[in-house]
Amino acid sequence: MRDYLSLNAQILYWTLLAPFRGRPVRLAHVFEQMVRIGVQAVPMTALTSLSIGITLAMQGAHELSRMGATGYVPDLVALSLLRELGPLLVGVVVIGRSGSAVTAELGTMKVSEEIEALEVMAINPVRFLVVPRFLAMMIMLPALTVFGSYIGMAGGWIICHFSLDLETAAYIRRLIESSKPMDLYSGTVKSFVFAWLIITISCFYGLAVKGGAEGVGRSTTNSVVVCILTMLIADAILTGVFFFAES
Amino acid sequence: MSEPVIEVRDLVRKFGDRTVLNGISFTVEKGDTMIIMGGSGCGKSTLLRHIIGSMQPTSGSIKIFGEEITTMPRAQIEKLRLRFGMNFQFGALLQSLTVGENVALPLRENSQVDPEIIDLVVKLKLELVGLTGFEHMKPAEISGGMRKRVGLARAVALDPELLFSDEPTSGLDPIMTAVIDQLTLDLTRKLDMTAVVVSHDMTSAFRIGTKMIMLGAGKKQGHIIAMGTPEEIRNSDNPEVQQFINGQPDGPIPLKLAKEDYLERLLGQPRPEDM
Of B78, B96, B154, nearest to A122 by CB-CB distance is B78
pLDDT over threshold 80, residue B274 = no
Q: Check B54 against A109: CB less than 8 A apart.
A: no
For residue B215, give the amino acid letter: L
Question: Which residues in A lie closer than 8 A to residue B78 (C-beta atoms)?
Answer: 122, 124
Q: Is A121 on the interface with B (CB under 8 A)?
A: yes
* Other CB atoms within 10 Å distance of the CB of residue B250: 9
Domain residue ranges of chain A, discontinuous segments joined by +: 38-240
Per DSSP, the residues of A9-23 read HHHHIIIIIGGGGT-
Q: Per mean pLDDT, which range of A202-211, B67-76, B117-126, B245-254 is the poorest? A: B245-254
Sorting pLDDT into bands at 50, 70 and 90, what band is B273?
low
Beta bridge partners of B215: B38, B224
Interface test with A, best of B81, B102, B154 (most A CBs within 10 A): B81
Q: Check B110 against A123: CB less than 8 A apart.
A: yes
pLDDT at B272: 61
pLDDT over threshold 70, residue B231 = yes
The helix (run of H) or strand (run of E) holding residue B226 is strand B224-228
pLDDT at B242: 85
Q: Check A117 against B92: CB less than 8 A apart.
A: yes
Triad B46, B50, B55: Cα angle to 5°: 90
* Among B147, B156, B170, B141, residue whose Cα is nearest residue B45: B170
Q: What is the ipTM of this complex?
A: 0.82
Q: What is the pTM (predicted TM-score) of this model?
A: 0.85
Tens of pLDDT, residue by residue over A141-168, are: 999 999 999 999 999 988 888 888 888 8
Q: Check A114 against B109: CB less than 8 A apart.
A: no
pLDDT over threshold 90, residue B38 = no
Q: Check A116 against B92: CB less than 8 A apart.
A: yes
Instruction: Report the pLDDT averaged over residues B193-221.
Output: 87
Tens of pLDDT, residue by residue over A214-226, are: 999 999 999 999 9
Determine the 3-state secondary structure of A164 from DSSP. coil
Q: Per mean pLDDT, which range of B37-41, B50-54, B139-143, B260-264 is the poorest? A: B260-264
- Write the CATH number of the domain with boundaries B6-267: 3.40.50.300
Sorting pLDDT into bands at 50, 70 and 90, what band is A180?
confident
Of A112, A113, A121, nearest to B106 by CB-CB distance is A121
Query: Phi and psi for A22 in degrees, rounded to 5?
Result: 85, 15
Q: Check B88 against A116: CB less than 8 A apart.
A: yes
pLDDT over threshold 80, residue B253 = no
Q: Per mean pLDDT, which range of A63-72, A94-103, B131-140, B259-268 is the poorest? A: B259-268
Tens of pLDDT, residue by residue over B219-228, are: 777 888 888 8
- A103 and A223 in contact (C-beta within 8 Å)? yes
Q: Which residues of B touch A (CB under 8 A)?
A: 52-54, 78-79, 81-82, 85-86, 88, 90, 92-96, 105-106, 109-110, 154
What is the average pLDDT value for chain A, to the nearest integer?
A: 91
Determine the 3-state secondary structure of B126 from DSSP. helix
Q: Is A128 on the interface with B (CB under 8 A)?
A: yes
pLDDT over threshold 80, residue B1 = no
Sorting pLDDT into bands at 50, 70 and 90, what band is B269?
low
- B25 and B8 in contact (C-beta within 8 Å)? yes
Residues contacting B17, CB < 8 A, separation 6+:
none
- B165 and B111 in contact (C-beta within 8 Å)? no
Residue A79 to residue A182: CA distance in whole angstroms: 10
B143 vs A92: which has the higher pLDDT: A92
Residue A102 to residue A36: CA distance in whole angstroms: 10
- Give the whole-number percent of chain B exceeding pLDDT 90: 22
Integer angstrom CA distances of residue A225 from A100, A101, A106, A198, B217: 10, 14, 17, 11, 43
Q: Check A109 against B52: CB less than 8 A apart.
A: no
Sorting pLDDT into bands at 50, 70 and 90, what band is A113?
confident
* Among B210, B209, B208, B238, residue whose Cα is nearest residue B224: B238
pLDDT at A155: 92
Sorting pLDDT into bands at 50, 70 and 90, what band is A234?
very high
